[in-house]
Amino acid sequence: MGNIYLPLLTVTILLTSFTMISFGTIISVAVPSVMGEFGVGQDKAQLLATGFYVAMTISQLVSSWLINKISHYYTYLLSVILFSSASILGAMSEDYYLIVISRITQGISAGILLNQTYFSIVQAFPIERRATALILFTCSTISAMGAGPLIGGVAIEYVNWRYIFVAPLPLLFLAFIFGNIVMPKSKTSKTLTFDWLGMFFITLCLSSFLAAISDGQRQGWDSNYILSLFIISFLTALSFIYTQINRKNRLLDFRLFKNKVYFCGILITFCTSMGNFGAIYAVPIFAQIIQNLSPIDAGFMMFPASIVTLLCLPAISFYSNRIVSRDACIFGLLLFSLGLYPLVSADVNTPYLFMICFAAISRIGIGINNPFLGKVTISEIPPEQLQSAISVMNFFRILGTAIGTSIWVVVLERRASIHSTNLINTQTAANTTSTDTLAKLQFLLEIEGIRELQGLQLSLQFIGALIHKEALTLAYQDGFVLLLGIFIFAIIVSFAFGRR
């Protein structure tokens, strides 16, 4: 195909990664709608996001084996077909858990495709142009992070929340056509073995952890059922690590962690994924539940941030070989923390424009950090180990996304319960603010002709709703503190890169 091959391959990769990431982030704006339609809490609704990411975490481990076994071409085509089928299933399903299954199936395909596209773009570009290639890949992912919630908001506002499952599919169809042209059909090995034991351990580990997180608030965190799930998750995690160190055929090459730069890069990748996608999940839900914004307004909140970041990326690309990667990573993480810090005190009165500006600062930070972090992390990896190194990096990137979202939801549920109890305990006869408010509400209701007893009941319900809203606001603020702490830790680790 000559000179057109590399640009067409790049477009295919960018379209695919954009669609996969947008399908991951699109669900955040739909969570309140799902909670209302199926009568589930945050602990169950988050399965639509965490189930997707956990499935991505596991399935991307199969990507390299599939590529070697059946080629890039058939791996790509079969994954796109499976993803599209799952999307249609999710759009048509009436049962909540069937929708969760469709999201998990989407995640399985997305994990394979994202790992395949990331490796393809690194493999296709020479070392001197690799930073530019990674910046292009970052453009795709960052724009998808902003476009996903916006597309979801438009679908919910003007059609129905179920359309979030099919809205980005036209782009994937276009990528599918290009993939038929550019994806190579050559196979590396027909006899390549696969570590099915390791796959069993990691699947059981993450599934048990996800089930424990999902049911912990309802079953009780100290119940035998939840403790058993955590024990199973812990033991299978140890078994997985043991098999990856001692078996010849392995899913992840943990020997790479002997390289200090690579180890620090993976740790930062894990932390930034926890904080970044935790914020992407949290902010649109906060905007709807706390600030009473419409789905489209909540979804739009992240979009200008992505546009601003994309405008900054050409400058980042220009200086990519002139800036010390460590300094760029630290600066990017500092910017994200700066954008996240005001959310620690955000409430119903925080102006919409301020929320957009905070999001923009954070997105610029991630846009600066990610390409330089990817570049420095694999900078000391030999070419023959590059595919294994990328697989490990993608594994921990997606694992951080799943765990970050899950832990954030747990913190939100727990802190909301604690704040609610504390606020209720302040509602006594000695609390003049509450008693005065109650009296004024009853007086206003009596003017409207509502009887005294009924007026008292309505007034108490109103105050109860205020307490619940305030408890949720405080819980969201605590959740943002957690995300901020994760990024501060990542900044500290970044100093270990040295002058690279």
Does residue 244 contact residue 202 with C-beta atoms inside 8 Å? no
Give pTM, 2 decimals. 0.79
- pLDDT for position 359: 83
Report the chain's C-alpha Rg in angstroms.
Answer: 24
Q: Which tokens hold the place of 329?
A: 């990573």
Token pair 């596209």: residue: 117
Does residue 78 contact residue 48 with C-beta atoms inside 8 Å? no
* Helix and strand totals (H; E) in the chain: 17, 0
The DSSP call for residue 60 is H
The DSSP call for residue 321 is T
Residue-by-residue DSSP string for 324-368: -HHHHHHHHHHHHHHHHGGGGG--TTS-HHHHHHHHHHHHHHHHH
Distance CA 496, CA 499 (A): 9
3-state helix, strand and coil shares in percent for the chain, rounded to the nearest 5: 85, 0, 15
- pLDDT for position 236: 94
Distance CA 46, CA 97 (A): 12
- H/E element, 306: helix 303-318
Helix residue ranges per DSSP H, 40-92: 42-45, 47-92
- Tens of each residue's pLDDT in the chain, 500 residues: 556 777 788 888 888 888 888 888 888 788 888 888 888 777 777 788 888 888 888 888 888 788 878 887 888 889 999 999 998 888 888 888 888 899 999 999 988 888 788 777 777 776 666 667 777 777 777 788 778 888 888 888 888 888 888 887 888 888 888 888 877 776 655 566 788 888 899 999 988 988 888 777 778 888 888 899 999 999 999 999 888 888 777 888 888 888 888 888 899 999 888 888 778 788 888 888 888 888 888 888 878 877 887 777 777 666 666 677 778 888 888 988 888 888 888 888 889 888 888 888 888 888 788 778 877 887 778 877 777 787 788 888 888 888 888 888 888 888 888 888 888 887 777 777 777 777 777 677 667 677 666 666 776 777 777 788 888 899 989 989 998 899 999 888 888 776 65
Of 137, 146, 144, 135, the closest CA to residue 359 belongs to 146
Dihedral angle of Cα 480, 484, 489, 495, to the nearest 10 degrees: 160
- pLDDT for position 466: 79
- H/E element, 113: helix 96-124
Distance CA 457, CA 446 (A): 12
Distance CA 217, CA 406 (A): 12
Distance CA 307, CA 140 (A): 11
Task: Tell me the three state secondary structure of residue 104.
Answer: helix
35, burial (CB in 10 Å: exposed 0-12, middle 13-18, buried 19+): middle
Does residue 143 contact residue 306 with C-beta atoms inside 8 Å? yes
Of 488, 279, 269, the closest CA to residue 400 belongs to 269
Non-local (6+) Cβ contacts of 248 within 8 A are: none
Tally of CB atoms within 10 A around 38: 14
Of 130, 17, 138, 142, the closest CA to residue 375 belongs to 130
- H/E element, 417: helix 386-425
Does residue 121 contact residue 136 with C-beta atoms inside 8 Å? yes
Token pair 């990769």: residue: 13
Q: Which tokens hold the place of 430?
A: 């000695």
